[in-house]
A and B are shown apart, each in its own frame.
Chain A
Amino acid sequence: MEIFLQQLINGVTLGSIYGLIAIGYTMVFGIIGMVNFAHGDVFMLSAFIALLLLLLLTQTLAVPAALAFGLVLFVTMALTALWNFAIERVAYRRLRGSFRLAPLISAIGMSTFLANFVTVTQGPNNKSIPPVFDHVIAITQGGAYDVTLSYKQILIVGVTAILLAAFWFVVQKTSLGRAQRACEQDAKMAALLGVDVDSTIALTFVIGAALAAVAGCLFLLHYGVVKSSDGFVPGVKAFTAAVLGGIGSLPGAVLGGLAIGLIETLWGQYFSSDYKDVAAFSILAITLIFMPSGLLGRPDVEKV
C-alpha cells in the first residue's frame, strides 16, 4: 500500500510534465491539424537552455539557487518560445495548403535537426546538475516503506497547476484566446471576420513552446540529468497523452498526461521497468485504433 501511494505521487509528478508538453501537441493539432513531431525536441532543447542558464547564474554570477531557478524558468520560457516561433516561420508556415503529409515530414526533419543541433553544440553525453531542493516530507512513517513527498515534487505539481490556471484563463477569457479558438473551429471564417490567422497560429506555437519550456525546466529539476536524445521518448509519450485525452482538447491533454504518468510508474513498479515504454507506446496504438477521439475529444468527422 505504501509503495502504491509513493508511486501515485511519483506518477502525478511525471504526469504533470507530460501534461505540459501534451498541451503543445494538442493546441497545434487543434489549430492546424498537424502532428508537431518536433515538439518533443523543443522540450529537450528547453531543458538544455535551462541547464546552461542555471549554470551561468549559479556558477558564474553566484545567484542563490531558488532565485536562479525562478529566473531560469522565465528566461527559458521566453527563449524557447522564440525558438518555436522561428521554427513555425521557417518550417511550417509555407506548408499550409500543401499536401497532407508535408507538415509532418517537415516536422520530422525539424525534430532530427534539433536533436542533432544540440548533439553538435553540446555533445552527446548526459549532462547532470547537482541536486537542488532535496528536502523531503515524510507522509507515512514506521510502515513497511516510508512514503515521502519531496519539495521538488510539490514544486513541480504546484508550478504546473498555477500555469495551467493562467493558461486556461488566457484561452477562455481573453480576446487572444477567443481568436485562437475561432481559428481552431474554422480558420477561413475567422480570417473573414478579421482575425489574423497567421499571427494566431504563431502565437499557438509560442504558447505551446513556453509550456514545453516549463516542462523542460521541471524535467531538469526532477531528474537532474538531460541528454540530446531525450526529446524523442518523452515527446512520443506526451503525444500519447494528448491522443489519450482526445486530441484538440486542452483538459484532455492534462488528464491524458496524468494518466500516462500514472500508468508508466505503476507499470514500472508492478510489471517490468524494462518494458515501461512499451506500455506508453501500446496505449498510443490502442487508443488511435479503437478510440481515435480519446477520452474528451470530439469525434473527427472527415468533410469532403
Chain B
Amino acid sequence: MTLSASPSPFAHAFKDAAIATLIVAGLGFPIIAYRADPDFNNMLALTSRWPLFFIFCGLGFALRFALSIWGARKKPSQAPAAPREKAKRGWLPPLGLLAILAYPLVMLAVMGPQGALKWVDTYGVQILLYILLGWGLNITVGLAGLLDLGYVAFYAVGAYGYALLAPMTGLSFWALLPICGALAALWGFCIGFPILRLRGDYLAIVTLAFAEIVRIVLVNWDVVTHGEAGLFGFPGVSFFGLPFIPGPRGFDAHFGLKFAGVHKLIFLYYLVLALAILANFVSIRLRRLPLGRAWEALREDEIACRALGLDTANIKLTAFALGAFFAGVAGCLFALRQGFVSPSSFTFTESATILAIVVLGGRGSQLGVAMAAVLIVGASEVLRELTFLKAIFGEDFDPTQYRMLLVGMAMVAMMNLRPRGLVSSREPTIVLKETEAPA
C-alpha cells in the first residue's frame, strides 16, 4: 500500500485497520469465539470465549494499523540494497564444530548421567536426526528442485528395514546402516522412475500419494509390521560389538565405567553427527561435480537442460535416490534411538516438518537447514519445558500443535517475504538480466 498521496496517513491507516478488524472478526467468529466440547452426556456443548475473540480482533487492528503506518513511511522508490560485504568468519566453523563435539560430554559433566539424558537425547540426537534428514531432503528439494512430499516414506523404509532385518538376519547395525540406506535408495529409484516425466507440482503430489500408500500398508500389514502397535525389542546399538547393557559383558564394564543409559545416547549422538557431516560433505562436494551442477541447472530450467543434452532422467533419479539414501540412514538411526517403530511416526506431518526445515533454511543452504532444524525442533522442546505456559493456555496445552501452527505460518511467510531462505548465503554463480517471469 502506497499512501504517500493521502492527506493524513493516520486516517487512512485507521480505515485500513478497521476493515482488517472486520475481516478478522469474520474469520474468528464461530471458530475462536466458541468451542465445542463433549459434556458428561457425550453431547457437544458450546463454551463461549468472547474475550479471546476480542483480543484477536484487537491484534488484527493493531497489526494492520502498524503495517499501514510503516508502509506510508517507507520511501516508495527503494534502490536495491547493495550486496553486503561478507565478513570473514573463518574461525566460526571449527569453533562451532568443537562446541558440537564437546556438547554431550559437557552435559554429562555438568548434569550428571541422569540429568544429561534429556539434554543429549531430545536436544542432541533428535535435533541432529532432523539436521541429517534436512540435509538429505535438501539434495532432492534444494539442489535438484524436485519437491518431494513423501520423504517420510524413505525414512520409514530405513526404520522398518532395521527393525525387521536386525532380528531376522542377526547382522549388527554397522552392517545394516548402509543396507537400510541402500534399501531406501532403491525405493527412491523405484518411486522416482515412473514419475520422471511429471512436472514439478504433479511430482510433489505423486510422491505424497506414494508416501501415504506406504504408511497405509505399514498400518494394515499386520503379519509383518504389527500394524499400529509397531515393532520393538529389536537389538539396539553396540560399541564395536560391546552392547550398552548393565553387567560384565557390556560397554561400561569393559571400560571400567559405572553403567549409565546416557553412554549409549552419547555414542548415538556422535554416530548421528558423523553421518550428518557425511551428508553435508557429500552434498557440498557433489555440488561442484558435474552431477551437482546438473542438479542445479535442472532446478532452474528443465527445458534448457534438455536442450543442452543433459540426461534429465538420470539426474533426477540420482537426486531422488541420494536423498532417499540419507533418509534411510536416518530412519535406521531413528529406530536405534527409539527402540520402537510405528506408523504414527511417519505421517505427512513429519514430511511437512522436514520440508519446512529445508524451506526455512533456504533451499540449498547447508547452514540454514541446520539452523532451521535447531529452531523448529528445539523450539517446541523448549516450549514443552515452560510450565507457566500451561497456566496460560490450560492443562491440555500441547506445544507440538503450536509448533506446527507456527511452522505453517513460517512457511507461508518465508515464501512471501524471503523465498531464498533465512540464510541466503548461496549466491548464484552467474546472474542473467532479470526477465519477466511467465504468469
Asked if B405 and A113 make an inter-chain contact with CB atoms under 8 angstroms apart, the answer reads yes
Asked if A292 and B216 make an inter-chain contact with CB atoms under 8 angstroms apart, the answer reads no
Q: How far is the CA of A281 from the CA of B411 in the complex (A)?
A: 26
Within residues 31 to 56 of chain A, which ones have a CB less than 8 A from any CB in chain B? 34-35, 45, 48-49, 51-53, 55-56
Residues of A within 8 A of B217 (CB): 278
Residues of A within 8 A of B415 (CB): 91, 95, 98, 102-103, 105-106, 109
Question: Known contacts A102-B415, A120-B405; is A288 also within 8 Å of B202 by CB?
Answer: yes
Residues of B within 8 A of A288 (CB): 195, 198, 202, 205-206
Q: How far is the CB of A100 from chain B (nearest CB, A)?
A: 5
Q: How far is the CB of B85 from chain A (nearest CB, A)?
A: 27
Asked if B208 and A109 make an inter-chain contact with CB atoms under 8 angstroms apart, the answer reads no
Q: How far is the CA of A188 from the CA of B438 in the complex (A)?
A: 10
A101 at the interface (CB under 8 A from B): yes
Residues of A within 8 A of B201 (CB): 34-35, 100-101, 104
Q: B41-49, B106-114, B157-165, B171-179: which lies at the A interface?
A: B41-49
Residues of A within 8 A of B427 (CB): none
Nearest to A91 among chain B residues (CB) is: B412
Question: Known contacts A105-B359, A109-B356, A284-B209; is A292 also within 8 Å of B198 by CB?
Answer: yes
Residues of A within 8 A of B37 (CB): 123
Residues of A within 8 A of B27 (CB): 79, 82-83, 86
Residues of A within 8 A of B439 (CB): 96-97, 187-188
Q: How far is the CB of A72 from chain B (nearest CB, A)?
A: 10
Nearest to A183 among chain B residues (CB) is: B439
Nearest to A126 among chain B residues (CB) is: B38
A112 at the interface (CB under 8 A from B): yes
* A interface, over-half SS: helix
Asked if B303 and A48 make an inter-chain contact with CB atoms under 8 angstroms apart, the answer reads no
Q: How far is the CA of A111 from the CA of B412 in the complex (A)?
A: 10
Q: How far is the CA of A51 from the CA of B410 in the complex (A)?
A: 29
Within residues 88 to 125 of chain A, which ones have a CB less than 8 A from any CB in chain B? 90-91, 94-106, 108-125
Q: How far is the CA of A214 from the CA of B38 in the complex (A)?
A: 25
Within residues 382 to 439 of chain B, which ones have a CB less than 8 A from any CB in chain A? 396, 398, 401-402, 404-405, 407-412, 414-416, 419, 436-439
Question: Known contacts A86-B23, A108-B149, A129-B44; is A122 also within 8 Å of B206 by CB?
Answer: no
A62 at the interface (CB under 8 A from B): no
Among B208, B349, B416, point to the contact of A95 (Cβ < 8 A): B416
Q: How far is the CB of B415 from chain A (nearest CB, A)?
A: 4
Within residues 250 to 307 of chain B, which ones have a CB less than 8 A from any CB in chain A? 303
Q: How far is the CA of A130 from the CA of B41 in the complex (A)?
A: 12
Asked if A116 and B404 make an inter-chain contact with CB atoms under 8 angstroms apart, the answer reads yes
Asked if A119 and B401 make an inter-chain contact with CB atoms under 8 angstroms apart, the answer reads yes
Residues of A within 8 A of B419 (CB): 98-99, 102
Q: How far is the CB of B54 from chain A (nearest CB, A)?
A: 15
Q: How far is the CA of A90 from the CA of B219 in the complex (A)?
A: 37
Q: How far is the CA of A52 from the CA of B349 in the complex (A)?
A: 26
Q: How far is the CB of A126 from chain B (nearest CB, A)?
A: 9
Residues of A within 8 A of B359 (CB): 105, 109
Asked if B43 and A130 make an inter-chain contact with CB atoms under 8 angstroms apart, the answer reads yes
A170 at the interface (CB under 8 A from B): no
Residues of B within 8 A of A128 (CB): 38, 44
Size of the A side of the interface (Cβ < 8 Å), in residues, is 74
Q: How far is the CB of A62 from chain B (nearest CB, A)?
A: 13
B189 at the interface (CB under 8 A from A): no
Within residues 319 to 357 of chain B, which ones have a CB less than 8 A from any CB in chain A? 348-349, 352, 355-356
A244 at the interface (CB under 8 A from B): no
Question: Hey, what's the 0/1 contact readout for B112-145 against A, CB within 8 Å counting as 1?
Answer: 0000000000000000000000000000000001
Residues of B within 8 A of A302 (CB): 199, 303
Nearest to B211 among chain A residues (CB) is: A281
Residues of B within 8 A of A82 (CB): 23, 26-27
Among A56, A111, A130, point to the contact of B34 (Cβ < 8 A): A56
A282 at the interface (CB under 8 A from B): yes
Asked if A292 and B202 make an inter-chain contact with CB atoms under 8 angstroms apart, the answer reads yes
Q: How far is the CA of A192 from the CA of B438 in the complex (A)?
A: 15
Among B26, B45, B206, B355, point to the contact of A289 (Cβ < 8 A): B206
Among A55, A119, A275, A300, point to the contact of B216 (Cβ < 8 A): A275
B239 at the interface (CB under 8 A from A): no
Question: Known contacts A52-B46, A82-B23; is A281 also within 8 Å of B31 by CB?
Answer: no
Among A104, A122, A129, point to the contact of B204 (Cβ < 8 A): A104
Asked if B45 and A123 make an inter-chain contact with CB atoms under 8 angstroms apart, the answer reads no
Residues of A within 8 A of B408 (CB): 109-116
A2 at the interface (CB under 8 A from B): no
Asked if B407 and A55 make an inter-chain contact with CB atoms under 8 angstroms apart, the answer reads no
Residues of B within 8 A of A121 (CB): 31-32, 35
Within residues 165 to 190 of chain A, which ones have a CB less than 8 A from any CB in chain B? 187-188
A147 at the interface (CB under 8 A from B): no
Question: Known contacts A97-B437, A108-B411, A289-B195; is A91 also within 8 Å of B29 by CB?
Answer: no
Asked if A108 and B355 make an inter-chain contact with CB atoms under 8 angstroms apart, the answer reads yes
Question: Known contacts A236-B209, A285-B210; is A100 also within 8 Å of B23 by CB?
Answer: no
Within residues 245 to 304 of chain A, which ones have a CB less than 8 A from any CB in chain B? 272, 274-275, 277-278, 281-282, 284-285, 288-289, 292, 300, 302, 304
Q: How far is the CB of A81 from chain B (nearest CB, A)?
A: 10
Asked if B31 and A275 make an inter-chain contact with CB atoms under 8 angstroms apart, the answer reads no
Q: How far is the CA of A255 from the CA of B205 in the complex (A)?
A: 21
Q: How far is the CA of A125 from the CA of B405 in the complex (A)?
A: 17
Q: How far is the CA of A125 from the CA of B212 in the complex (A)?
A: 22
Q: How far is the CA of A82 from the CA of B197 in the complex (A)?
A: 37
Q: Can you list 25 pairs linking A and B with CB atoms under 8 Å apart?
A: A35-B202, A51-B36, A55-B46, A82-B27, A83-B27, A90-B412, A100-B200, A101-B145, A106-B411, A106-B415, A108-B411, A109-B410, A111-B408, A112-B349, A112-B356, A116-B402, A119-B401, A121-B31, A122-B35, A125-B38, A274-B220, A275-B216, A281-B209, A288-B206, A289-B195
Known: A48-B31, A60-B46. 6 other contacts (CB 8 A): A52-B36, A53-B30, A79-B29, A112-B356, A112-B411, A292-B202
